[in-house]
Amino acid sequence: KNEVEQSPQNLTAQEGEFITINCSYSVGISALHWLQQHPGGGIVSLFMLSSGKKKHGRLIATINIQEKHSSLHITASHPRDSAVYICAVPHSGGGADGLTFGKGTHLIIQP
Amino acid sequence: DTGVSQDPRHKITKRGQNVTFRCDPISEHNRLYWYRQTLGQGPEFLTYFQNEAQLEKSRLLSDRFSAERPKGSFSTLEIQRTEQGDSAMYLCASSPTLGREETQYFGPGTRLLVL
Residue B86 burial (10 A CB sphere; 0-12, 13-18, 19+): buried
- Cβ–Cβ gap A31/B101 under 8 Å: yes
Give every strand in the sheet of A52-56, ordered side by side.
A4-7, A19-25, A69-74, A59-64, A52-56
Q: A43 to chain B nearest CA, in Å?
A: 6
**What pLDDT, on a 0 to 100 scale, did the predictor assign at position B56?**
83
Within a 10 A sphere around the Cβ of B105, how many other Cβ atoms?
Answer: 19
Chain B residues with CB under 8 Å of A35 CB are: 106
Residue A61 · residue A70 · CB < 8 Å: yes
**What tens digit of pLDDT does each residue of B26-77 get?**
998 999 999 999 988 889 999 999 999 988 888 778 899 999 999 889 999 9
Which among B42, B55, B103 is the nearest to A45, CB-wise?
B103
Please identify every stretch of chain A with a pLDDT value under 50, giving residue numbers as ranges: none
Residue A92 · residue A2 · CB < 8 Å: yes
- Asked if the bond preceding B8 is cis, omega within 30° of 0, the reply is yes
**What pLDDT, on a 0 to 100 scale, did the predictor assign at position B61?**
80
